[in-house]
Structure 1
């Protein structure tokens, strides 16, 4: 809403991620004076630093099917101020000609990005929707490399189950936008959407990323994570608290700790649900930091 008001009142196109970098009004004014587009590349990079500073081990948040991790910025106010927070985003936004990756290629890509920030564990991972599947795969790969994964958290993430079928989408199919709206809880083409500033190229990349990921459903294979899974279920539109253990239990040797959040899937990153999620995450991260002498 703030970006929309700035656009309307000041006729300035401020990228939403610019707000991540501006903790005060004074620094926000500095952003308005920048050359247009100067923070655009930063906003669409594969590694998105939502908060780069801090003495604690970072929390890495992996994008949902739209490929962007901007929505995780809402966690910042609920986490320790010394908690670095990074998003992983689809490469197609920064490299439009990049080929559509499979899950394994995506995991390898994001692992390389994560290691540029944190070369060794313990690692903390979070993923919303499709991002939870990727986070699980990244966690398994890290453990196979001998690294410790202190936290694996998912926000309403589900694997395709036996007998589950999905009609393949194309980039220009009308069903693609409907599926995106259902996935993120709002129309990204609306002037009030946080994604309104994407521009033609950015929106085209978003649709392509979403369709490519949606069409991956029958090519997803996951290993087994050695540890507990922290799961936030969107309880308002499904019996998530019942489904999560059924889907993920075969893919962990630990337990699936489910927290039912009173919202639908697309609203998981809205302020109220994210406040509840953030407080639980903050407590878990604080316990892990204490175990590693960083509290």
Structure 2
């Protein structure tokens, strides 16, 4: 459970990486399904929260972003940078982009997957059940046949995970306790987050099947317009928030990301000529 997850590591012939920032659960495994839809020489790195390894968490999204900028620069010392974040990860990606720009670096792509500020109204509903925590692993590795008991305990969840194939089988009750505490802390960070202004465009993906996104104007891509100097390009997906990283959803998100990444690479080549 390292802070940087090399979903597809760099090689000498690689292009600039895509850096994917974890949702509130703290893990970045959920982005692995993007590989099938991106160019084979596009490295992908996941940034994981310190609480997944038992370290102290952050006191603010600004502090998290500062740490992640350092991790990103350890992989890619200079821009242009490409960022993606799902849920809480989108808020952190926005602040990472601003900090990179303040350091004089270029951010060629800022993209978010169903990421919003957490208002007072929604904070009381934001602390999840154990079942919701398991659901945000963002993978189909558990299989479609699994039904989550909303009253399950962390021990129940650990036993469920041990019974399934894949990386989640290694998670213990202690791991799940860390993830649960980290998730709860993430909701507090999202509630306290006050975005600054990013100088550029935003690529956004909306969970179109969530009723809250259809009825609450603060839960729409357009809510980011005051914090973006450029344009917002939104793509609605026929899924709920918890299903944004299923293979079906990433089959929609991945090609759009790839198109934007390739366009950014073309612009970079033209600038060098």
2:65 maps to what in 1? Answer: 107
Q: Residues 1-295 of structure 1: matches in 2 within 5 Å?
A: 44-54=1-11, 55-94=14-53, 96-161=54-119, 163-167=120-124, 175-181=128-134, 183=136, 189=158, 190-191=160-161, 192=164, 195-238=168-211, 240=213, 243-293=219-269
Q: 1: distance between equivalents of 2:231 and 2:135?
A: 29
The alpha-carbon deviation at position 87 of structure 1 amounts to: 0.3
Could you report, residue by residue, the CA deviation over 1:137-177 in whole angstroms, capped at 9, with x for unpaired residues?
Answer: 1001111111110000001111124x53423888xxxx542
The alpha-carbon deviation at position 240 of structure 1 amounts to: 4.2
**Is the 8 Å Cα contact of residues 208 and 236 (structure 2) preserved in structure 1?**
yes
Q: Calculate the TM-score normalised by the size of structure 1.
A: 0.76
Q: 2: distance between equivalents of 1:230 and 1:45?
A: 28
**Is the 8 Å Cα contact of residues 160 and 217 (structure 1) preserved in structure 2?**
yes
The alpha-carbon deviation at position 279 of structure 1 amounts to: 0.6
The alpha-carbon deviation at position 97 of structure 1 amounts to: 4.1
Structure 2: give runs of 5+ residues left out of the alignment. Answer: 139-145, 149-156
The alpha-carbon deviation at position 239 of structure 1 amounts to: 6.7
The alpha-carbon deviation at position 197 of structure 1 amounts to: 2.3
Q: 1: distance between equivalents of 2:229 and 2:27?
A: 30
Cα distance change on mapping 1:99 and 1:183 into 2, 3 Å = closer
The alpha-carbon deviation at position 73 of structure 1 amounts to: 0.5
Q: CA RMSD in A?
A: 2.4
Could you report, residue by residue, the CA deviation over 1:51-102 in whole angstroms, capped at 9, with x for unpaired residues?
Answer: 11342100000000000000100001110000000000011222x1424432
Could you report, residue by residue, the CA deviation over 1:229-282 in whole angstroms, capped at 9, with x for unpaired residues?
Answer: 000101111374874343101110111100011111101110011011001101
2:151 maps to what in 1? Answer: none
